Chain A
Amino acid sequence: MSGNMLLEMVRKPLVVAIALIVVLLFLGEALSPGFASVQQILRLLIVAALLGIVAAGQNLVILGGREGIDLSVGGVVSLSAIVAGNLMSGMDSGIPLAILACVATGAFFGLLNGLGVTLLRIPPLVMTLGMLGVLQGLLVVIRQGIPSGRAAPALSEFVTRPFLLGLPGIIWLWIAIGLVMAFILHRTVFGHRIYAIGSNEQAAYMAGVPVKRVRIALFMLSGIFAAIAGICLLGYSGSSFANVGEQYMLPSIIAVVFGGTPLAGGKGGYTGTMAGAVLLVILQSILTTVNIDESGRQMVFGATLLVLMLFYGRGRAMRA
C-alpha cells in the first residue's frame, strides 16, 4: 500500500522535477561551494523565468492537442527584443509603447499561425516552422535599417535588481503568470475548453466548444508570451543581438515535457512546466561550473536530458 503510494508519488512529474531540483542544488553546492547561495539561486531563477515565460505559451499550444507545437517562439523572442530595444533606446518613457508594440507583434504572428493551423489545417509543426523562417528573414531586414537598441534603465532594474522581498520584478511577474495560468486552466471555461480539445477534439466539437477559436487563441497567447519574454530578455542583457531567441525554441518544449505535459496534449499544467524550466536551467548552470570543456558539457547535458526523459510519460508498449 505505502509502496504503491510511493510509486504514485514518483510518477508525479512535478514531484520528480522538484526532487531533482533539490538534488541538483546539493550537487552544485558540493561541486562548487556557493552554488546554492541566495545570490546564485536568484540569478538562476531570473534565467529560468525567461525560459519559463516562453514555455507558458508553448505549454498552452501543446495542451490544445492535435500535435500542437510552436517552433516560431524563438523568432518572436528575438523580434520582440529588437523592437523593444529600438522603441526604448535607453529611455524609460518608451516602455509603454514598447510593451504595446511587442505584444501586438507577438499576437499578430500567433494569429497567423493559428489561422494556418485551423482554417487551412496545416500541421502546427509545419506552419510554425515556416513562420520561423519568415521571422528570421524579417530580423535580417530590421537589423539592416536600425541600430540594435538599448534597454530602458527601469526595465533592466525590473529584471535584475531586487524589487519586493528581495526578489526582482521578473520573478514576481513569473509567479503572477503561474497563478494566472493555474486560474485560467482550472477555473475558467476557456481552460476547460483547452483540455477538452486537447484530449478529444471531436467530442469537444460535438459538445459545442468553438474548437477553432480556442486553438487560434492558444497560438496568439504563445506569441504574446514569447514577446513578453523577449522584452524581459532585453532587460536582462541590456541590448539585443542577433537571434537571441533561438536558444528558447526547443528548450521551451523540453521544459513543458519535464513539467509533465505530454506532447500529445490534453493533460498536464503549467506548475510542472515552471519546475521543468528551473530544472533545465540548474542543470545547465551546474555544467558551466564544473571544469570540463564545451564538448564534455554538451555530451553530459544531452545524456542527462535523455535519462531524465525516462522518468516522464514514456509511450505505451504495443499490445496485441
Chain B
Amino acid sequence: MAAEATLIPRKTSGLKRLFERFPFLPALVILVVLFALNGFYQPRSIGLVGITGLLKTYMPLMLLAVAQTYVVYAGDIDLSVGAIVSLVNVTIIVLMQQWGGEALPVLGAMAVGIGVGLACGIINGIVVAAFRLQAIVATFATSIFFTGLALYVLPVAGAPAPAAFWRTYGGRFAEIPFVFYVVVVLAVLLYLLARTRLATQLLAVGDDAQGAFQSGLPVTAIRMKGYALCGLFAALAAFCVTGDTASGDPLVGGKMTLSAVAAVVLGGSALSGGFGTVVGSVIGALIIGLISSLVYFMGTPSEWQNLVQGLAILLALMAGILVGRRARA
C-alpha cells in the first residue's frame, strides 16, 4: 500500500492529509458531538464536577484501551487484559492489607502490581509470539489462568482498600482533582512512548510482518514487547480500578476486556494491525463512557438503557470504520 502511494504521486486533498496525520479525527468528532449532547441534556455533566466524575470512572477503560492498542498495533489481540486488571487489583489489595496503608507500603504494593502486570504481559508474549499460538484463543486461555490466580489471591470480592489509596484517587491536590494529574502523566507517557522505536516497530510488524522480518527486525521480540507493554498498562488500569471501587474483586476486570477492544476500534485503529493511535483509543474509551451517560441523561427507562447503549456503540463502530476507510481510500 505504502509503496503504491510513493510510486503514483497523487494530489491529496487537505482533509485526507489531515486524516492521515490524525487518524482519530472521526472519533474526535463523535466525542465532541456526544459531549455537546451530554451538555444539552444535563448541563452540569460538562462542568468540572461532571468531567472529573467521567474521568474517574473511565480512566481504567482508557488505560486498558491504550494497553490493548499496543498489541493491536502489531496485528495481535489480548483477550486477557481484563483478567490482568483483576489479578493486579487483588494483588495490591492483599499486599496493602498485610503491609499496612501508609505511603511506603502502598507504593511497594503498587511496584509489585506493576511487576505482576508486566509478568502477565510477558507470558502472553511468549505464548503468542514465541510459541506462535493464535492470539485470540491463546490469550483467552491465559485469561482463565490469570483469573484462577486472582481467585487464589483473593477468593471472594470485598476486601477494602486503605483509605489513603482511594482518598488520593478521588481527592484533590492544590484544588485540582487528582485524576487531572493522571491525565497529564498519561499524556506525557503516551507522547514519549509514541516517539520510541518500539511504537514504530510494532506498527511495522502489524503492517507487514514478513517484510519487517526481512528488513531485519526481530519480529518475535517486538511482539513480545508489545504484550509486555500491554500488561504494564493493564496494571496501571488496575490501580485506577482500585482507586475507583476502593475494594478488591477477583472478577472486576472480566467485563472490561471487550469494551477495551471496542474502544480501540472506535479510536480508528485497525485490528489487522499497522495502523492506529493510542490517542484514538483514549477517545474511544471516553466515547463509550459518554454514550452510557448520555443514555442516562436522556431519561431512557432503566431497562432500555443497555439496549440503546449497545445500539449506539454498534453504530459508532460501524460509522468509524466506514468514515475511516473513505478518508484513507
Contacts and interface: CB of A to CB of B under 8 A. Distances in A.
Given A257-B134, A295-B149, A299-B145, A121 B307 contact: no
A129 B147 CA distance: 22
Given A138-B307, A141-B303, A302-B142, A123 B314 contact: no
A144 B300 CA distance: 14
A8 interface: no
Contacts of B133: 306, 309-310, 314-315
A120 interface: yes
Contacts of A313: 134
A133 B143 contact: no
A253 B140 CA distance: 10
Interface stretch (B161-169, B238-246, B257-265): B257-265
B304 interface: yes
A129 B261 contact: yes
A131 B213 CA distance: 36
Interface string B179-202: 000000000000000000000000
Interface stretch (B42-50, B54-62, B227-235, B316-324): B316-324
Interface residues of B, number: 51
Interface in B131-181: 131-134, 136-138, 140-152, 155
B232 to A, nearest CB: 21
Nearest to B145: A302
A262 interface: yes
B211 to A, nearest CB: 11
Given A140-B307, A314-B131, A263 B136 contact: yes
B137 A130 contact: no
Interface string B206-230: 0001100110000110000000000
B136 A318 contact: no
B110 interface: no
A69 B79 CA distance: 14
Nearest to B150: A295
Contact of B314 (A131, A141, A297): A131
Contacts of B304: 137, 141
Contacts of B142: 302, 306
Contacts of B314: 130-131, 133-134
A140 B305 CA distance: 9
Interface in A285-313: 293-303, 305-306, 309-310, 313
B140 A254 contact: yes
B112 interface: no
B318 A318 contact: no
Q: Give the interface centre of A135, A254, A302 by most chain B CB atoms within 10 Å.
A: A302
A135 B258 CA distance: 14
B144 A314 contact: no
Contacts of B262: 126, 129-130, 133
Interface in A4-60: none
A257 to B, nearest CB: 5
Interface in B254-283: 258, 261-262, 265, 271-272
Contact of A262 (B134, B220, B305, B311): B134
A250 interface: yes
Contact of B310 (A130, A143, A301): A130
Contacts of A143: 303
B127 interface: yes
A238 to B, nearest CB: 25
Contacts of B305: 137, 140
Q: Give the interface centre of B150, B213, B306, B310 by most chain A CB atoms within 10 Å.
A: B310
B134 A315 contact: yes
A126 B321 contact: yes
Interface string B286-329: 00000000000000000111111111011001100110010000
Q: Give the interface centre of B137, B219, B318, B321 by most chain A CB atoms within 10 Å.
A: B137
A100 B148 CA distance: 40
Given A301-B145, A302-B147, 18 more contacts: A67-B272, A120-B322, A123-B321, A127-B318, A130-B310, A136-B306, A137-B304, A138-B307, A140-B306, A140-B307, A250-B79, A295-B149, A295-B152, A302-B142, A305-B144, A309-B133, A309-B134, A315-B133
For the complex of A and B, 5 pairs with smallest distance between CB atoms: A298-B148, A302-B145, A137-B307, A130-B314, A302-B144
10 contacts: A126-B265, A130-B310, A131-B314, A140-B307, A253-B140, A295-B152, A299-B148, A302-B142, A306-B138, A309-B134
Interface of A: 67, 69, 71, 116, 120-123, 125-127, 129-138, 140-141, 143-145, 250, 253-254, 257, 262-263, 293-303, 305-306, 309-310, 313-320
